[in-house]
Structure 1
Amino acid sequence: MLIPELDIFVGNVFIIDWEIFKLWLDGHECPSAASILQQRGSLMAGATMDMLHGDVLDHYRSFSTLERLLEVPTLFVEQRVLQISPNDQTDIIEKYYDFDDAVMRELIGKKPSSKLRKELDDVCEKTGVLVRSCRRQFDNVRRIYKQVDEMTGNVLDNIRQQFLLPDPLARRYAAILFLDWVRFETHKRKLAHLTFNDFFVCADGLLRHWADEECELDKEFFQDLREIKAILEREKEAKTVTLRKLEGGRLSTDAAGDLTQNFRSLFRSLVNIATGLYRSRELKDLFIDLQEKIVEPCKCARWTQSDMESFIAAINFDVSEIETFRRQVTGAAGETDLPILWRRYLRAVGPCILQLFAS
């Protein structure tokens, strides 16, 4: 008697439907996701709504398995339970850790605590993002916050290596952590119109010019900045130099008239903000101070974006332009040129002002 041969192949290749994955990430429950797919024409001829619902439910179960693995991306890419291609692994991690700017706007500047997580219903209502998605985004921030906060070394590298995120997304998370660690004021009424991207641009600039690789602000620089107050002794000279550099129609008529009349106020505000940064409270209020003392007065005077760009460039004095800048100061880091302090200050604050002014 011949015994028939039977070959059996068992595989566990993980097939992901990216459209359903997106609905899951957006926080839709299974029935809601099936209904959306039906409206998009995903129900094939001969298929029933129950069949579509079953397919979505099957994917959702798989995504729930994925979610547990995604809490530690380095283990996710090493696991062999689910056979997923390297390209798909990369895409899954990036999409899972991506976030809605509107949601993150509500979370920045606050420690990602359990108390804040309980307030996510309010975030959901304000942003229109479903609460399950808000929780995923919050939990991702908290996970990265806890992991990186306990590590030494380059924060950006730690985020990239521990969570396998692409550089642009890792930079956004580094900015979030920085805003949270310093507790910058981001939620005052006068800042309510600003977007997450506005704060990201500002934070990224501060990190590049005022902080080290561990996102630690240079406190010695802030102490040295107190010496910048000496430039107020040359206020008239500073005004003359600035207006001369702006001759030839570089400012609109409105801005030119306003600057001639109100240079003292703007200039003193910029200097006073610089000299107060060594105080924790004034550092935290940096954005509100720039908004109230620089941006709003200029907007009220009908400055244009081009006007502001020209002004920021013009007050970036060099050593040959202001008599006070020909001296050196002895600060926490030894002798420091005043022009170097002033330029380093403006390299971070200038783009912040421009970003806030554009919003």
Structure 2
Amino acid sequence: MPSRCCRWEPLTKRGLAALTGLLSRPCRDYAAIVFFANNRFETGKKKLQYLSFGDFAFCAELMIQNWTLGAVDSQVDDMDVDLDKEFLQDLKELKVLVADKDLLDLHKSLVCTALRGKLSVFSEMEANFKNLSRGLVNVAAKLIHNKDVRDLFVDLVEKFVEPCRSDHWPLNDVRLFLNQYSASAHSLEGFRHQALWDRYMGTLQGCLLRLYHD
């Protein structure tokens, strides 16, 4: 490990957010390892064996930059890469997107209208929209619990990657869907958690696109 990395406190949380901003890939990998160890993410399950260290490190970097205390409070020091508990607690508010039938139906309608003729798997997307949406939203709503934080990657593969893969979605269709799924929530009358939604989905989109491969 380059000495430039090792000058940070060894395997502590101090300064990891700064590490992810360095150009040195070894330093960024080091930050990812510490972040994963700190949050005890499950990476050893059989269904995750197709993923590389680079896949996990990419997602760790996104989460450090967007889901941690250090991402929103520049005054935070030692705890700067702890997941932001207030943010995780607030994520339960997103359940309205799937609990409210009218909102769920409208969200589906907006996404389907925008993507009709643009997806090779449009019929499959239309048929499975509600299950996919419930999966993504329920993952968010459960992240207040430590066990569900640990199982984040297992849940993302089970709830999104595997269903899309089984229907043979091309990666570009996954990208188009996630972009429209995220953007359409801003047009839902009565949905008042757009900033929270963007903070969640902005990171989740990047992770899902990285996880979506053979």
Provide TM-score, normalisation by structure 2: 0.85
Partner of 2:202: 347
When residues 300 and 170 of structure 1 are mapped into structure 2, their CA distance, relative to the original with a 3 A threshold, is same
Kindly state the Cα deviation for residue 216 of structure 1 after the two structures are TM-superposed: 1.4
Partner of 2:64: 207
Partner of 1:106: none
When residues 340 and 166 of structure 1 are mapped into structure 2, their CA distance, relative to the original with a 3 A threshold, is closer
CA–CA distance in 2 between the matches of 1:237 and 1:313? 17
When residues 226 and 156 of structure 1 are mapped into structure 2, their CA distance, relative to the original with a 3 A threshold, is closer
The one-character-per-residue Cα deviations of 1:29-65 (angstroms, maximum 9, x if unpaired) are xxxxxxxxxxxxxxxxxxxxxxxxxxxxxxxxxxxxx
Partner of 1:147: 10
CA–CA distance in 1 between the matches of 2:23 and 2:169? 38
Identity of aligned residues (%): 34
Structure scoring higher RCO (CA < 8 A, sep ≥ 6) equals 2
Contact 1:202 1:352 in 2 (8 A): yes
CA–CA distance in 1 between the matches of 2:32 and 2:174? 25
CA–CA distance in 2 between the matches of 1:166 and 1:205? 15
Contact 2:107 2:184 in 1 (8 A): no
CA–CA distance in 2 between the matches of 1:348 and 1:176? 18
When residues 159 and 190 of structure 1 are mapped into structure 2, their CA distance, relative to the original with a 3 A threshold, is closer
When residues 196 and 218 of structure 1 are mapped into structure 2, their CA distance, relative to the original with a 3 A threshold, is same
Kindly state the Cα deviation for residue 168 of structure 1 after the two structures are TM-superposed: 2.6
Contact 1:144 1:159 in 2 (8 A): no
Partner of 2:76: none
Partner of 1:314: 180
Mark the runs of 5 or more structure 2 residues left unpaired by the alignment. 71-79
Contact 2:107 2:185 in 1 (8 A): no
Aligned residue-pair number: 202
When residues 188 and 158 of structure 1 are mapped into structure 2, their CA distance, relative to the original with a 3 A threshold, is closer
CA–CA distance in 1 between the matches of 2:151 and 2:162? 15
Mark the runs of 5 or more structure 1 residues left unpaired by the alignment. 1-92, 98-139, 328-337
Kindly state the Cα deviation for residue 320 of structure 1 after the two structures are TM-superposed: 4.9
Contact 1:145 1:177 in 2 (8 A): no
Counterpart residue identity of residue 194, structure 1: L
CA–CA distance in 1 between the matches of 2:7 and 2:43? 21
Kindly state the Cα deviation for residue 167 of structure 1 after the two structures are TM-superposed: 3.1
When residues 212 and 236 of structure 1 are mapped into structure 2, their CA distance, relative to the original with a 3 A threshold, is same
Provide TM-score, normalisation by structure 1: 0.52
CA–CA distance in 2 between the matches of 1:291 and 1:323? 30
